[in-house]
Amino acid sequence: CEEVFGDGPWRYRRPADRPAEERQHLKNYDPRMLPTFRWREAPLGDRPRATVQTAIGDFDVELDARNAPEAAALFLRTALVGGYHSARFERLLRSGSDPAGKFAVAPVKAGFKPPPGDLEAIKPAAGSAAPSDELIVAFVRAGEGAGGLAIGVGPVQEHATELVPMGKVIKGKDVVRSLLAAEAEAGTFKKPIDIRRVIRNE
């Protein structure tokens, strides 16, 4: 072990600990010039899918990128860089016209909020992006938790200034219903539901 881990002249030393003559090849080194790692972005497509992994189970969503392209693209971009990893469903928006209508809202993780210009570019969804009789996935484009994710059922148009519907839940609907049934008080879940990861799978 002494031969391997001892203080022999071959032992690696940080550049700052080396004599000047051994740092000549590093004189032009500038860490600010190093390339920045970026995940590869796949083409958006018409109906991309993603899996939302939570502490109470997983569910899959299908996005309607034809009718809500800006929201779908920004959601997937935020998911790709980890903006929803370790986020939480914290708020519950209730409908004023439908007793069963409600949306669970998970703000984007701190430090991952999209630029204001990207949020302002999101237009209200059209057509089939807002089905009224299905579990809906929506993007939070304004207000508290802008850049976040919302899941729910009911007249989403009541929350049009904050939420943009962008698709539907296609698998794990029982998980979403359990999430929406979680106890809440004054619009806040008593026990927020953790999101582990959001992964695009198609």
Q: What phi and psi values does residue 173 have, to the nearest 5 degrees?
A: -65, -30
pLDDT of residue 133: 62
pLDDT confidence band for 132 (50 / 70 / 90): low
Domain encompassing residue 169: 49-200
23 falls within a domain: no
185 falls within a domain: yes
In sequence order, which residues have a C-beta less than 8 Å from that of residue 48 and are 6 or more positions away? 42, 62, 63, 65, 72, 76, 200, 202
Is the pLDDT higher at 183 or at 32?
183
How many distinct structural domains can be found in the chain? 1
1 falls within a domain: no
Alpha carbon distance 50, 94 (integer Å): 25
**Hey, how many other C-beta atoms are within 10 angstroms of the C-beta on 121?**
14
In sequence order, which residues have a C-beta less than 8 Å from that of residue 3 and are 6 or more positions away? none
Q: Is the dihedral of CA 52, 63, 131, 149 positive or negative?
A: positive
Per-residue pLDDT reduced to its tens digit, 148-181: 999 999 888 778 888 999 999 999 999 999 999 9
The CATH number for 101's domain is 2.40.100.10
Contact (Cβ atoms closer than 8 angstroms) between residue 111 and residue 50: no
21 falls within a domain: no
pLDDT of residue 6: 64
Alpha carbon distance 60, 137 (integer Å): 10
Per-residue pLDDT reduced to its tens digit, 41-62: 788 888 999 999 999 999 999 9
Q: Which of 30-44, 69-83, 105-119 has the lowest mean pLDDT?
A: 30-44
